[in-house]
Amino acid sequence: DEIAYAVDGTLTTYNTNTVAGAASAGPQAFARALTGFAYHGPEGQVIGDRDFGTIAVVGRAPLVLDYQISDSAVYSDGKPVTCDDMMLAWAAQSGQYPAFDAASRAGYSDIAVVDCTPGQKRARVTFVRDRDINDYGQLFAATSMLPAHVLDDTLGLGDGGVTKALQSADGPTIDKIAEAWNTT
């Protein structure tokens, strides 16, 4: 019913992707609570989490990946994990939107586009030509994605609002999304 363990740092936020969150013990504490397409094993190796979803390479020049999120991948509030969460992770960590206080842009800055239909469990990720990465399994991995639906609700954007704002390049709304991602 319960698992308890200790980490050697403070837990200041659930968002381990901000500068403050990355410097906390959050990445260790939340790696199996905020799951993704992969996680780090005991020797630091990247292990695909097939319970969460799968990744298929469908193109090489440029690198194109199809992500399929498992039907059983849900958040603790019962809401499904969707490609909207991938859109939010990419936007926050790509460097394309400076209002996000991301600790790293590694890999995400090499993505040209995330094709996502709001609310769906499938996304296609296309990389910038000649910017392919071998460690794509570390993208959209444990702790990298947060529930976009929480920001939809918090900001009154409606279902899929985060994705729609990003797809339409709605600057003022994206700034509000970034501020909430940084602090909520």
* pLDDT digits 0-9 by tens, 71-121: 999 999 999 999 999 999 999 999 999 999 999 999 999 999 999 999 999
Task: Specify whether the CB–CB gap between 166 and 101 falls below 8 A.
Answer: no
Residue 88: CB partners within 8 Å, gap ≥ 6?
A: 145, 146, 148, 151, 162, 163, 166, 177, 181
- Output the tens digit of pLDDT for each of the chain's 184 residues: 887 878 888 888 989 999 999 999 988 888 888 999 999 888 989 999 999 999 999 999 999 999 999 999 999 999 999 999 999 999 999 999 999 999 999 999 999 999 999 999 999 999 999 987 888 999 999 999 999 999 999 999 999 999 999 999 999 999 999 999 999 8
Looking up tokens 């900001």 gives 155
Task: Specify whether the CB–CB gap between 174 and 58 falls below 8 A.
Answer: no
Q: pTM to 2 decimals? A: 0.94
